[in-house]
Each structure stands twice: as C-alpha cells, then as structure tokens.
Structure 1
Amino acid sequence: MQHLFTPAGEVALAATLLRRPLLAFDFDGTLAPIVARPDDARISQAVSARLKSLAAQLPVAIVTGRAVADVRGRLGFEPRFIVGSHGAEDGLDASAAAARAGALNPVRDLLRTRGADLAAAGVGIEDKGQSIALHYRLAREQARAPMLILEVLAQPGLSVQVFAGKMVVNVMAPDAPDKADAVHALVARCGAASAIFAGDDVNDEPVFVSAPPDWLTVRIGRDHPASRARYFLDSPAEMAMLLERMLVLLARIDAS
C-alpha cells in the first residue's frame, strides 16, 4: 500500500472519478473515529457536509457493521444506500433477513445463559438483529475478554460465522453476505462503472480482495501491512481532506 495523497494516488483517484463510481464507506474507524462507547460515535460536520455534496453527484453508500437504523441518525445527510450488519442488512429480502436473524436465536439463548460471566468480564452485548457484536473495549482484562467470548461461543452444533474486529467479536448467520457481496451488489444496482471503497477493519478486507483493478480501495490506518487495499490514509482525520479532493476533481471533470 501507499498513501493516497501521493502523485500516483491523485492520478488513480481522478481516473476512478472519471468513471462516475459508487462511493462506499465503512462508518466506525473510517468516517467516524473509534470511540470507547459505540453510542458516542458521530461524523464531523466537515465530513457530513462533503458527503452530502458528493451524494448530489454520485451514488453514495454506507456499508457498516452497525444496524441501518443505528447509523442513519449519525450521518447528518441521507446517502442513496445504507447496508448494515457487515453486508447482511440491505432491506431488499425480508424473508432472507428474518431467516438470518432467526439463525442467531441459539446464540441469543447461549448469551442469556452466560450473560453474567460476560458482563463481569466487561463484555457488552449488542444485538443488531442480523448480527450480534460482543464488545470488550471497556474490559479491564482485554487479553482475557476475547478468549472468554470464544470459549462461550465454542458450543458443539452452533452454526454461525464468528470473526473479530477492533475490540469486538461479531457473530452472524452462516450464510450471511459480507461487505464484498454488498458492495458488488450495490455497484450492479446503481449501474456504476466502478467503485471507491474505504474501510479500516478485517471485515473490510473482503472488499479489498475482491475489487476489480479499476476500483480504488483505501484502508484507514497503516497498521495492517498485509492489507489488500491499494492505498491508505493514516486516520479518519484525513477523511474530510479526501472528500474535499473528490469534490475538486469532480468539478474539474465537469468543467472539462
């Protein structure tokens, strides 16, 4: 990876914008900084205003681990698409959504049984319907907490997807789509010729891995040298600058 704010990154960004791409973004750690309590997460006015301006010109999507209803009120603008629960919640197939939510009922039963143990370890349970997040950012023993979570989930016959994130373990139905499935589906839905996708965590890597050569992928943070993203930004603090650069380049394209 190389930093996006380089001559090569500028050329790639301009070339991708020329194709009128879908603009897709993760939320936590990408548009908004990671915070100790997920309920406190918000995007800055600078990011919100620039996204709103971009959404008037190109299809904009938020593809997040949060539930759709949760993230919608944190944006300050209305994107064309919001996909929640790491790609599983797209609002299109109610019966499939209900089936995926129902597939997590054994997990809910298990967490009710072991809830006191998890709470004592500082683990917070967030049920999003089509996914369940087990947060341990506030745990006193942050090495022990994920081990306890995985121990609780290691039940014979429990058929689920389990994957880690930044101070969180996520649980989803075994057939739930991921963010790569979601972004490719959104590109097809809006008829875009390409996509720009930015994300910061392990659940964003499937998008980076599956992206065609004419997509532009950006990882937020340089702490993952094995990432398959083409470019990186150092932190969410650089996001407003990236969005402003997109607006400038789009204005040049429209004027040419």
Structure 2
Amino acid sequence: MSMRKVGDLPSALGEGGAVERRLAGHKPAVFLDYDGVLTPIVDRPEDAVMSDDMRTTLRELAARCPVCIVTGRDRAMAQQLMGVDDLVVAGSHGFDIWTPQQGSISDDRVSGFLDLIAEVTERLRDDVGSIPGVQIEPKRASVAVHYRHVAPEDRDRVGDSVQTLLAENSDRVALTPGKMVYELKPNIDWDKGKAVLHLIEVLGLGGDDVLPLYLGDDITDEDAFRALRDRGIGIFVGRADDPEVGDRDTAAQFVLGSVDEVKRFLAGLGR
C-alpha cells in the first residue's frame, strides 16, 4: 500500500478540484473523527466542546448526506460534547456503535468485554491514579490514561505501569496508541477501519453510487484510511510542522491543515 508523508499530500481544498472530480456522480458518505477534526486538540479532554459554527455545518451536511462520527471517546461523552444526539456515532474506536434509528449496532464480539474494562480501569487507578496530572478516562469498551499534564520525570512511571499490565494480560488486553494517551482495549481484531466497513454494510452505503470519505488526525485513524484506500477518500487533518504530527507517513490521500479548513470543506460537500 502506498504511504506518503503528510507534508507531501495535496490539499482537499485545492483549486484543482481533485476531490470534487472523485465525487462526480457519487453521493458522499462522511466519516469523521472528533478531536482534532471537529474540534481543536485541547489540554483537557472534557473541554473539547464543538463550536456553534461547526455544529451548524455538521447539521447542514447531515441533511445532504450520511454523516457518522468515529471517535476514540466514549460515545455518550462525544454526543454530549457535540451537542448533537441524532447522528450515527461509533465510540471507543468503533467498539460502541449507535444509530438514532436502530440503537446499538455494535459488533457482537464486543459485548462480552465490559467486565474486563472495569477490571483494567480499577487496576490503573490503583497503580497510577495518584500521579499528579494523570487522568484516567473510563469508557464503555476501553479505558484511556492521559499523561499530557504529567511531569516529564513521572511519565516513565505511567508507561511502565501500562506495559506491565499489558504483559500480564497480553491475551486479553491490547494497546491503542494516541497523542499523549495510552488506551487499553479488549485484545480482539477490531479498529476504526473495521468499524467504518461495518457501518457501510449495516447502513446500506456499499452501493457504487456512494463514495465514503474519512477525515482523521491520529494514528488510530490510519486503520480507516487503509480500509477505504481502494473504495473512498482519506483526508488527514493536521500540519506537518506540528510536533505531534512530524514527518509522519499516512495512507490518506489528501490533507486539511486545521479544524477551520475542515469546516470549509464540509460546508461545500454534497452541494
């Protein structure tokens, strides 16, 4: 599979209209990560509230074409931060999928792991919960350990504890990488890419007249870019000069440099 540097990607807003040409004769189906795409990355996860302008843009887009949110966040928290509860949301990296029409449409393999996540969450609270700056975020199907506000000299303690837990539970627990966060989830073959393909099937979006687009900014979004590589469009959100992006390789085909550019792009889709 062809990978390119983020800095080498053409803009999805480029004057050449490459995205528009790909969409010609097709209806878009839009899949969107939340943090870093619909809202800027912020120091405290609970402060990532969607702006009124982006909420309006999202609602107008949803009136024109299918829109699905695919996020690492807990689904209920994502809906609360968006201020929107009538869109399809795949929370916890696709482990918790919900639609306003059908309710839960999560893959059946996920439901048996809720007790495991509760156990892992309690272990993390005991091991690292007292370290200043650590934020433990339990979700329905995973648990995240944020260390952005942990002093540099304490970060190895957090990482060592997570690695020890993984080593002791390698058959049950897996690590999902992220920006200044360790996320622990059930060790089953499931990710954002498989969640998007599941949604395409369940929502009846697999026809030749539909072109799926995925917008994401994090390492976990690469699974979705790869899943759609031969059947849709992947758009990386971020700048190559961002130290958290750096000289990253990506399977996306286009780039948008900021949340504001995402808003401009979404406003023009499907018109």
Match of 1:211 in 2: 228
Q: Summarize the Cα distance change of 1:54–1:135 in structure 2 as closer, same or farther, 3 Å threshold.
A: same
Cα shift at 1:176? 5.7
Q: How does 1:183-222 map to 2 (within 5 A)?
A: 183-192=196-205, 193-221=210-238, 222=240
Cα shift at 1:168? 0.5
Distance 1:94 1:219 in 2: 26
Match of 2:135 in 1: 124
Match of 1:5 in 2: 13
Q: Summarize the Cα distance change of 1:93–1:64 in structure 2 as closer, same or farther, 3 Å threshold.
A: closer
Contact 1:64 1:85 in 2 (8 A): yes
Deviates further, 228-237 or 25-34: 228-237
Contact 2:36 2:237 in 1 (8 A): yes
Of 233, 243, 253, the match for 1:230? 253
Cα shift at 1:96? 4.2
Match of 2:165 in 1: 153
Contact 1:123 1:139 in 2 (8 A): yes
> Which amino acid counterpart does residue 10 of structure 2 have in structure 1?
Q
Bigger share in strand: 2
Distance 2:27 2:230 in 1: 15
> Which amino acid counterpart does residue 184 of structure 1 have in structure 2?
L
Per-residue CA shift, 1:201-250, capped at 9, x if unaligned?
A: 0110001112143411111113353011001111222111111221xxx3
Cα shift at 1:93? 4.7
Match of 2:55 in 1: 48
Contact 1:16 1:216 in 2 (8 A): no
Q: Could you tell me the TM-score, scaled by structure 2's length?
A: 0.82
Distance 2:89 2:81 in 1: 12
Gaps of 5+ in 2: 1-8, 98-103
Q: Summarize the Cα distance change of 1:74–1:156 in structure 2 as closer, same or farther, 3 Å threshold.
A: closer
Distance 2:126 2:84 in 1: 40
What SS does structure 2 have at the residue aligned with 1:72?
helix
Gaps of 5+ in 1: 252-256
Of 138, 158, 163, the match for 2:176? 163
Match of 2:146 in 1: 135
What SS does structure 2 have at the residue aligned with 1:171?
strand
Cα shift at 1:162? 0.5
What SS does structure 2 have at the residue aligned with 1:209?
helix
Cα shift at 1:46? 1.6
Of 177, 187, 198, the match for 1:174? 187
Deviates further, 76-85 or 173-182: 76-85
Of 67, 84, 90, the match for 2:91? 84
Q: Summarize the Cα distance change of 1:100–1:17 in structure 2 as closer, same or farther, 3 Å threshold.
A: farther
Match of 1:101 in 2: 114
Match of 2:4 in 1: none
Q: Could you tell me the TM-score, scaled by structure 1's length?
A: 0.86
Cα shift at 1:200? 0.5
Distance 1:155 1:106 in 2: 15
Contact 1:218 1:233 in 2 (8 A): yes
Cα shift at 1:80? 3.4
Distance 2:248 2:108 in 1: 40
Contact 2:30 2:213 in 1 (8 A): yes
What SS does structure 2 have at the residue aligned with 1:119?
coil
Contact 2:12 2:235 in 1 (8 A): yes
Distance 1:140 1:243 in 2: 38
Match of 1:254 in 2: none
Contact 2:229 2:251 in 1 (8 A): no
Provide the aligned length of Structure 1 versus Structure 2: 245
Distance 1:47 1:127 in 2: 27
Q: Summarize the Cα distance change of 1:187–1:240 in structure 2 as closer, same or farther, 3 Å threshold.
A: same
